[in-house]
Amino acid sequence: MPKQGYHHGDLRRALVDAALMLIEKQGPQGFNLSDAAKSAGVTPAAVYRHFGGRDDLIAECARQGFEIFADLMDHAYNGGKPSALSAFEATGRAYLAFARKFPGHYMAMFESGISLNTNPDLARASERARQVFSRAAEKLSQHIPADKRPPAAMFSAHIWAMSHGVVELFTRGKPGARAPFPPEELLEAGIGIYLRGLGLVPPDE
């Protein structure tokens, strides 16, 4: 039976969807362009109408992931939380939720080895996601005098790393089912301890 062709942009979307499925099942390094083309129902040559190679296809998966990621974290932060601390913690929980719901995108973003500077669109998307954490950190530190205030970029990077660690150790795959505590509780406690140690939230908050 002949393969059905794709028209008006559908092929690009189909290739991204196929790549995300393969990444989720086989890892970012576990497939090639021929595999993606086969999954999308087209010839390998058709892939090059939209992507320069496998890395270009994965970079697009990562770009879309960072856009979704930033949207989720931005919504979490601006969701009417009663305090700067609870809003900041909400961004961490959004990180965990993203990794669970979009594993293919997550792996393309963080496990593919693709440079964030591969193309301008990917760089902008990743920077937008980073800025959500940075804005949250700046808001949280406003009560500390400027000359004693830790750099927002520093502690927002630490919280990003903490969130990423909880995802890797206790959320993704079978080991996550054996976490000593729910991942959300682990992250919330870790954020609270860290921020209080820096004096970024009052002890009684």
Q: What is the pLDDT of residues 114-134, one digit of tens each?
A: 999 889 999 999 999 888 888
Question: Are 86 and 173 found together in one domain?
Answer: yes
Q: What is the pLDDT of residues 77-96, one digit of tens each?
A: 887 666 777 777 888 888 89
Residue 66 CA to residue 69 CA, distance in Å, equals 5
No. of helices (H) and no. of strands (E), the chain: 9, 0
pTM of the model: 0.85
* Distances from the Cα of 135 to the Cα of 6, 45, 111, 139, 156, angstroms: 42, 44, 26, 6, 9
Residue 166 CA to residue 163 CA, distance in Å, equals 5
Question: Are 7 and 70 found together in one domain?
Answer: no
Residues in the chain: 205
Question: Are 79 and 137 found together in one domain?
Answer: yes
Question: Are 15 and 48 found together in one domain?
Answer: yes
Residue 99's domain spans which residues? 59-197
Question: Are 86 and 21 found together in one domain?
Answer: no
